[in-house]
Amino acid sequence: MRQSYYPWIPGGITHGGVGAYDLKEIPAAVGGTGQALSAGMEINMGGGDVVDSLLASGISFEDNPDFNCGKGCYRNKRGIVQAEAVVMVARGMVKQMGLVTILEKTPNPIRVAAAVLQTDQIGIGGPDARRFADRMGIPRCRNRDLLTPRSTAIWRECRRRQRQGQDPEPKGSDTAGGGFIAQNFSIGGFNTTGGLNFKEPGRIGDCGQGSTGVYVEWYGVAIASGDGEAIVLATLCKDAIVRLGQMRDNPMEVARWAIFSHLSENAGRMASGGIIILTAHGKVGYATNQQMPVAYQIADGPIVKGMVSGTILEEF
């Protein structure tokens, strides 16, 4: 079975989150998604460990206020940022996962998720997650340090609508993430997010629930973004990777099936979502029922980046 995936081809793929993007937002979203890819690929093609590639890419997203993670996180109903992140790695058949949820006062949640890999736990959440981060020497900040004009404007509009008895209609882009195939025959994926804008305090999304929003096998990685509750109900990325094992050379068809069939069927409703897939032999798949900035690079080839609608990537 493994021989069908050789030669092993290193590469990377990133997404900047599912959403409805204004035309003026697209260049920054696509550019930032490409920058996050480049940050990870610089380490990846230099022979670095896959976890270091995931960290570099995740930190690039989190330090960019244009994305719903790290310093650009959306707020809950109380105005507090509660972030979550997940990292999953496969080294041959051996898998590791580290996740953090309901994490406050942390500019780089991906660092905390990666630190969990160093323990015999899979996940940690709430106030103890911040205490764990302190013990691991991961910097903290104030809640107000994580508030941007963009996230504040969206939150205030939701609060105004709620006070008027209207549906808050939370809007904005969702989880950002990516995956890398390393030269040392290891594969990894990550997601990092502030979660749903104007969410209930303490809400846990797909990043905080294991293999639903990121999943890795020795032959590929899948990373999702969108309606976290629906992604959990569909066990979206785990099921996509299982299907990839049956349709080994067609990750694009697997992505199409995951979003336009499997997601809504299992959620019992129309749900926003997007998925990216990268195989160990250098093939990519992507699909979304909204819009999603995507970037990918196979080995030392050119970076391809653009905005995906459906299964079409329009390069920018």
From CA 81, how far away is CA 29, in angstroms rounded? 21
- Contact, 83 vs 70, CB < 8 A? yes
Q: How far apart are the first and last CA of the chain?
A: 37
Say how many CA atoms lie within 13 Å of 185 toward its Cβ: 8
Residue 120 main-chain phi, psi, to 5 deg: -95, 20
Our CA dihedral for 291, 186, 214, 134, rounded to 10 degrees, sits at -110
Nearest residue to 188 via CA among 221, 213, 210: 221
Looking at residue 1, its pLDDT comes to: 39
Whole-model pTM: value is: 0.96
Give the pLDDT means over successive 10-residue stretches in the chain (316 positions): 64 96 94 98 97 98 96 94 98 96 98 97 97 98 94 90 81 85 96 93 92 95 95 96 92 98 87 96 96 97 98 95
Under DSSP, the state recorded for 185 is: S
Tokens 């809950």, residue located: 76
Which domains, ranges and CATH numbers included, belong to the chain?
2-310 (3.60.20.30)
- Of the candidates 220, 313, 216, 218, the one whose C-alpha atom is nearest the C-alpha of residue 274 is 313
User: How far is CA 226 from each of CA 58, 59, 105, 126, rounded to the nearest angstrom?
Assistant: 17, 20, 24, 23
The reported pLDDT for the residue numbered 83 is: 97
Q: Residue 262 gets which letter from DSSP?
A: I
User: What contacts 164, CB < 8 A, 6 or more positions away?
Assistant: none
Amino acid symbol at 83: A
Q: What is the pLDDT of residue 5?
A: 45
| pLDDT recorded at residue 172 | 58
d(CA 257, CA 38): 29
Taking the C-alpha atoms of residue 194 and residue 80, their distance in angstroms, rounded to an integer, is 10
Query: Is residue 260 within 8 Å of residue 294, measured between CB atoms?
Result: no
Closest CA to 216 of 251, 195, 240: 240
Over the stretch 213-227, which tens digit does the pLDDT of each residue have? 999 999 999 999 999
Q: Phi/psi at 264 (nearest 5 deg)?
A: -70, -35
Please name the amino acid found at residue 293. Answer: P
- The C-alpha atoms of residue 73 and residue 105 are separated, in whole angstroms, by 11
What is the gyration radius of the CA atoms in the chain, in angstroms? Answer: 18
Task: Note the pLDDT of residue 269.
Answer: 79
Is-cis flag, bond preceding 7, omega within 30?
yes
Q: CA-to-CA distance for 308 and 286, rounded, in angstroms?
A: 8
The DSSP symbol for 122 reads S
